[in-house]
Amino acid sequence: MTVLNIEHQDGVCVMTLQRPERHNALNTELTRGLLQALQDAHADDHCRAIVLSGSGKSFCAGADTTEFAGFSQDTNQATVRAELTASLHAAFSSVHKPIVSAVWGNAMGGGAGLALACDMVVACADTRFGYPEIKHGICPAIVMANLTRQVGIKRAFELVSTARMLDGHELYAWGLAARVTDTPLDTLEAAIAVARTWAEYPPQALSATKQLFYQTLDLPFAEGLDTGRRRNIEMRRYAQPKH
């Protein structure tokens, strides 16, 4: 069985992590496959929006630590894996199609990072979201930058230093989830509904909106305003008259 299932539905690409026996923990094969799938979706004109979900009881339990046994003795192997993981997390904002995660069960460490790397999150009430790395003598290194940008300094430090777990309702209260649902099936359906809404809009507008969003995210106000001004001029040729 493939570790990643990809299904196309009317302009929506649904990517499902397929390692349910390991709570969809990210081994090298799955990490590489997901990165390639995102790159393929970016280049696919038929894909308008992306849904990322897990199979079985969880979204993603983080990195598959069974692969890490020899990393302390093999620096090159650890470097290759770290670069692959960093490339995966960087890909989410560089893909021009919007991405929504459907999250339930465990979303921990790298799995929590995957959920937040998506542009929107739909969470089931039973979600267990957090960064338990501190308990295992390590830290959530690669996912840290995105976490602090989205949660804020004090709350981010609480999560990474205490291993506190958040459920779906807390994710919503913290502004990290756009929707909270009762069951995994509801979660997936709600995420697909979001993606289908995106898929109905003109693709150039959707792509420009996402690109500009991330371009201006860390810019000083004046630079962000100027970037928006230039994109405004570019988009005039696509403007559709109102009826």
24-55 pLDDT, tens per residue? 999 999 999 999 999 999 999 999 999 999 99
What average pLDDT score do residues 68-74 get? Answer: 68
pLDDT of residue 70: 65
Average pLDDT across the chain, whole number:
94
Q: Which domains does the chain have, with CATH numbers?
A: 4-199 (3.90.226.10), 203-238 (no CATH)
Q: Where are the beta strands (DSSP E) in 76-222?
A: 99-103, 106-108, 120-124, 128-130, 179-181
pLDDT of residue 75: 74
Largest CA distance in the chain: 67
Q: In the predicted model, is pLDDT for residue 1 greater than 70?
A: no
CA distance 130 to 159: 7
CA distance 117 to 183: 22
Q: In the predicted model, is pLDDT for residue 66 greater than 90?
A: no
- Residue 100 forms beta bridges with which residues? 51, 120
Please confirm, yes or no, whether 158 is among the known catalytic residues: no
Closest alpha carbon to 191 in 116, 113, 95, 121: 121
User: In this structure, what are the phi and psi dihedrals at residue 17, rounded to the nearest 5 degrees?
Assistant: -65, 130
Q: Do strands 49-54 and 106-108 pair parallel, antiparallel, or not at all (unpaired)? A: unpaired
User: In this structure, what are the phi and psi dihedrals at residue 73, rounded to the nearest 5 degrees?
Assistant: -95, -15
Catalytic residue among 133, 158, 223, 234: 133
Whole-model pTM? 0.93
Q: What is the pLDDT of residues 90-122, one digit of tens each?
A: 999 999 999 999 999 999 999 999 999 999 999
Range name among 9-23, 72-86, 198-212 with the lowest pLDDT average: 72-86
